[in-house]
A and B are shown apart, each in its own frame.
Chain A
Amino acid sequence: DTEVTQTPKHLVMGMTNKKSLKCEQHMGHRAMYWYKQKAKKPPELMFVYSYEKLSINESVPSRFSPECPNSSLLNLHLHALQPEDSALYLCASSQRQSSGNTIYFGEGSWLTVV
């Protein structure tokens, strides 16, 4: 079983709604990630938090707003999304090791914007 848990598993929202995706990891990792994945495509990096600070923003539109309340939690706040934002949103975490970093992913949140 994955040690990165995401809620909700499925979300349907209107273009004027405000919703949030939540992610939690219990591996003591200090980096957490949000990826977006469209059908039949590889995951695309959106944001990275390292030691609870935003370290990478891949030029993501402001209608996506990440938040890292503590080292175990990561949220993605959604507002005024477009239908093309419908996708699988994957949360992940990693920790630096002498042998290299491995990114572990959650089960994802399937988002549909109507």
Chain B
Amino acid sequence: AQKVTQAQTEISVVEKEDVTLDCVYETRDTTYYLFWYKQPPSGELVFLIRRNSFDEQNEISGRYSWNFQKSTSSFNFTITASQVVDSAVYFCALSDPNYTGANSKLTFGKGITLSVRP
């Protein structure tokens, strides 16, 4: 069975601080996809990134960066110079490869609530 662990439940930082959100996953599959989603108070789940299990390159997008390490089954997310608008719940998720075709099934972590104070 697949599992995603986000051990941090709530993080509070002051604006301009860097913050790292941890994600550890468990799967027996060799092919899988990892995701990060952001959920602001409005409710929408905003897609941030998808990472293929075969691609261990780290990725940077503006102030966001992701560190994928298969050796430790981790897919961590760092926000550099945090801003108040980064305040949200962040979910890490793992795809279930048993569902192919157009549909998909995700296993979500419990989410991390990030509060950025001015």
Contacts and interface: CB of A to CB of B under 8 A. Distances in A.
Interface stretch (A16-24, A43-51, A59-67, A72-80): A43-51
Contact of A110 (B43, B46, B91, B95): B43
Contact of A100 (B37, B52, B109, B110): B52
A107 interface: yes
Contacts, number: 76
Interface residues of B, number: 25
B105 interface: yes
A50 B43 contact: no
* Majority-rule SS of B interface residues: loop
B105 A42 contact: no
B101 to A, nearest CB: 6
* Majority-rule SS of A interface residues: loop
Contacts of A101: 33, 95, 102-104
B35 interface: yes
Q: Which 9 pairs across A and B sit closest by C-beta, in order of nearness?
A: A42-B108, A105-B45, A108-B43, A31-B103, A31-B102, A101-B104, A30-B102, A107-B44, A50-B103
Interface of B: 33, 35, 37, 42-47, 50, 52, 91, 95, 99-106, 108-111
